[in-house]
Amino acid sequence: RKEVEQDPGPFNVPEGATVAFNCTYSNSASQSFFWYRQDCRKEPKLLMSVYSSGNEDGRFTAQLNRASQYISLLIRDSKLSDSATYLCVVRTDRGSTLGRLYFGRGTQLTVWP
């Protein structure tokens, strides 16, 4: 079983729409959770960290459910510039304090005018 499972999409939505991405992780001992954004043929960049209490950054809201091992990302009022691949990422320390990131395969989003 993969460490992080993510629906690859693609999601095609009009400008202004609300879109939600979900992922699940398999290791209950995982410590930290993130959403990264990756533009076509570019490197991944941290979008936001995810906390159990939920956190919001402008139009973006992330949520973590540790009991269900489920992570979500909600994008409100989608913009053309939101078109990218969104990667669900989990950090797990397997006997090392240095940590290690596990990536989902990414969910592709296209926002059309």
Partner 1 sequence: DAGVTQSPTHLIKTRGQQVTLRCSPKSGHDTVSWYQQALGQGPQFIFQYYEEEERQRGNFPDRFSGHQFPNYSSELNVNALLLGDSALYLCASSLAGQSYEQYFGPGTRLTVT
> Which chain residues interact with partner 1 by CB under 8 A?
4, 6, 8, 31-32, 34, 41-46, 49, 87, 91, 94, 96-106
Give whichever of 6 and 63 is closer to partner 1, judged by the CB atom. 6
How far, CA to CA in Å, does 69 sit from each of 4, 24, 76? Answer: 10, 6, 23
Give whichever of 54 and 99 is closer to partner 1, judged by the CB atom. 99
Contact 70, 23 (CB under 8 A): yes
Closest CA to 111 of 85, 87, 88: 85
Give whichever of 60 and 102 is closer to partner 1, judged by the CB atom. 102
Least distance from C-beta 53 to partner 1, angstroms? Answer: 17
Least distance from C-beta 72 to partner 1, angstroms? Answer: 17
Query: For residue 50, what are the β-bridge partners?
Result: 33
